[in-house]
Amino acid sequence: MFVELDGDAPLVVQITRSLRAAIVSGTLRPGAALPATRTLAAELGVSRNTVVTAYEQLCAEQLAVAEVGRGTFVAAAVTPSSPQRTEGPAPAPAPLHEVSRYAARLRALPAPVLRGPQPQLRYDMRYGEPLVDPLLMSSWRRALGQAAMNCRENYPPCIGEAALRRAIAEYVLRRRGVLCDADDVVIVSGTHQAICLLARILLDEGDRVAVEDPGYEASVQALQAGGARLVDVPFDAHGLEVSALPRTGVRMILVTPSHQFPTGAVMSLERRRALLEHADATGSWVIEDDYDGEFRYDGTPLPALRALEAGERRVSYVGTFSKVLFPGLRLGYVVCPRALHDDLVAAKRLDDRGCSSVDQLALAQLMESGAFDRHLRRAAVELRRRRASLLDGLRRHAGDHVVVHDSCAGMHVVGWLPAWPADRVRSLVDLAAERGLGLHSIAPHYRRAPPAQGLLFGYATLSVKQLGAATALLGACLRDASRSRAIAPPLAVIDDEDAMA
């Protein structure tokens, strides 16, 4: 505890004065324990008697009370004259000329699209959240306990713990066809940090970055805040339209080939090859965000871009544990071209000096023990059931209005509302929220006007039964919201097998 001794009076007076000021100002709250006399005496280098006398003086002034066997406490009846923090209007932000250009750009960014969990909703069809498996969480807690006992006490290696990098190198080869050594893997705190660090080492302010429109807001905003100029590139059912990429002046291309966010389009093999050729020919760097490439419900997943690239030249492969475990973990990885490796590790060192060793070692243990693979298998089975329940419910209850484009991957599907104008979709979302159903429009993920209105239906956090009830409620909301103004049903209901146009 900080007790200021100003040297301006006998020690006992100085201690009493300092504590009195702390009590009266509210720094020490009513009921707070004063430090044990022995501890404070040792801290200040004074005799214990001096502290005892100071405490007695505070008790005499009714600012403190001594309780036998428990210690001395600030009196409950004290009313602080100026409590530390007062409620009131938030202070105005610092003027723009006093902050960096980065802060100015941060302030210009739109508010995040997805708000935190809304407990008042009975069924929230939130996207972006993984399936939480109680079995996995108990394995995780055990692994965490062991890692805490065995972890290093000094700083972690900035590149990441070797055990985790080995486990990831083995995993990405087996699941995504990405061939690399443990030394090629750099551990980061999620996709978000990966994009920020890659942008830092590859871009200067004003450089152009090609991004998908619509796209993942957090990555796009990280790039904008860094001063990048965005080039929106359209895509169709086969993924990014490589032919629409500018031939010059684009330093970086950010893509989500295995499950485009948010539309769910999967980039075809032909387009993947075309993108690699384009990157080679134009000298652009490609960032492959494989955020939920692990979950695919039919056929074999296409190899990652990085796996198709001969010579590991232009593609940085970014993976995350946010979807396969849980986002609170904040762990992900980058497998980048060797030419970028040292710069990336140096940027990581200056950013945060490495991710927590305890978390990394626990995750390595989870992967080595097989618990992680078992979780992936269980999760895939359960997600498949939930997805089937959602699609079935949408067909039965919402088929008159909702056209489903399902990419057979990931943890959400998009339902388009071709006959619904934007204002009607907003009313639908509001009506659903009043009835306890959380719906999420796709529109805010577009930077240009969306070609049609649509909803993102996340299914990882609702059970099969809840999804049945949620889609029935959706059907009722669609009916009621469409009644107030005539809305024609779509011409055809496209289901999972149909391509996205």
Ligand X SMILES: Cc1ncc(COP(=O)(O)O)c(C=O)c1O
Say whether residue 322 binds ligand X (CB under 6 A): yes
Asked if 320 is part of the footprint of ligand X (rule: CB under 6 A), the reply reads: yes
Shortest Å, Cβ 8 to ligand X:
54
Cα atoms in the 13 Å half-sphere on the side-chain side of 157: 13
416 binds ligand X (CB under 6 A): no
User: Any idea what DSSP says for residue 310?
Assistant: T
Minimum distance, C-beta of residue 426 to ligand X, in the bound complex (Å): 23
- Alpha-carbon span 371 to 429, nearest angstrom: 39
Q: Which residues in 155-214 contact ligand X (CB under 6 A)?
A: 190-192
Q: Which residues contact 164 (CB under 8 A, 6 or more apart)?
A: 187, 360, 361, 363, 364, 367
Judged by beta carbon, residue 291 or residue 317, the one nearer ligand X is: 291
Cis peptide before 262 (omega within 30 of 0): yes
Residue 291 C-beta: closest distance to ligand X, Å: 3
Nearer to ligand X, 29 or 330 (CB): 330
Of the pair 462, 477, the CB lying nearest ligand X is at: 462
**CB closer to ligand X out of 261 and 457:** 261
Cα 473 from Cα 498, distance rounded (Å): 26
DSSP 448-479: S--SSEEEEEE-SSS-HHHHHHHHHHHHHHHH
- Applying CB under 6 A, does 327 fall inside the site for ligand X? yes
Count residues contacting ligand X (CB under 6 A)?
A: 13
Radius of gyration of the chain, Cα coordinates, nearest whole angstrom: 29
Kindly state whether residue 471 participates in binding ligand X, applying the rule CB under 6 A: no
Q: Please state the closest distance from residue 257 (CB atom) to ligand X, in A.
A: 11
Residue 115, class by beta-carbon neighbours within 10 Å (0-12 exposed, 13-18 middle, 19+ buried)?
exposed
In the bound complex, what is the minimum distance in angstroms from residue 322's beta carbon to ligand X? 3
Contact predicate 288/307, CB 8 Å: no
Among 35, 128, 264, 490, binds ligand X (CB under 6 A): 128
Instruction: Out of 133, 161, 212, 289, name the contact with ligand X by CB under 6 A.
Output: 289
Please choose, out of 154-162, 279-287, 320-328, 354-362, the segment that lies near ligand X by the rule CB under 6 A.
320-328
Q: Could you tell me if 65 and 34 are in contact, meaning their C-beta atoms sit under 8 angstroms apart?
A: no
50, 139, 256, 461: which one binds ligand X (CB under 6 A):
256
CA atoms within 13 Å, Cβ hemisphere of 285: 21
Q: Spell out, one character per residue from 261 to 280, where the chain touches ligand X: x when CB under 6 A holds, - when not.
A: x-------------------
Q: Which of 291, 295, 317, 420 binds ligand X (CB under 6 A)?
A: 291
420 binds ligand X (CB under 6 A): no
- For the residues of 20-38, what is the DSSP string, one character each? HHHHHHTSS-TTPBPPPHH
> Is the peptide bond preceding residue 214 cis, with omega within 30 degrees of 0?
yes
Minimum Å gap between C-beta 324 and ligand X is 10
Residue 215 C-beta: closest distance to ligand X, Å: 8
Quote the strand ranges of 80-140, DSSP E. Answer: 123-124
In angstroms, rounded to a whole number, what is the distance separating the alpha carbons of residues 104 and 379? 42
Residue 130 structure tokens: 């993984």
Task: Give the nearest distance from C-beta 287 to ligand X in angstroms.
Answer: 11
Q: Which residue has the tokens 């296409």?
A: 302
For residues 329 to 368, the per-residue mask of contacts with ligand X, x marking binding by CB under 6 A and - elsewhere, is: ---x------------------------------------
Specify the residue, 271 or 401, whose C-beta has the smaller distance to ligand X.
Answer: 271
128 versus 160: smaller Cβ distance to ligand X? 128
Nearest distance from C-beta of residue 141 to ligand X, angstroms:
21
List Cα–Cα distances, 315 to 207, 255, 405, 498, in angstroms: 18, 10, 28, 30
Q: How far apart are CA 266 and CA 257, in angstroms?
A: 6
Nearer to ligand X, 44 or 462 (CB): 462
CB of 329 to ligand X, least distance (A): 9
User: Which residues of the chain form contacts with ligand X (CB under 6 A)?
Assistant: 128, 190-192, 216, 256, 261, 289, 291, 320, 322, 327, 332
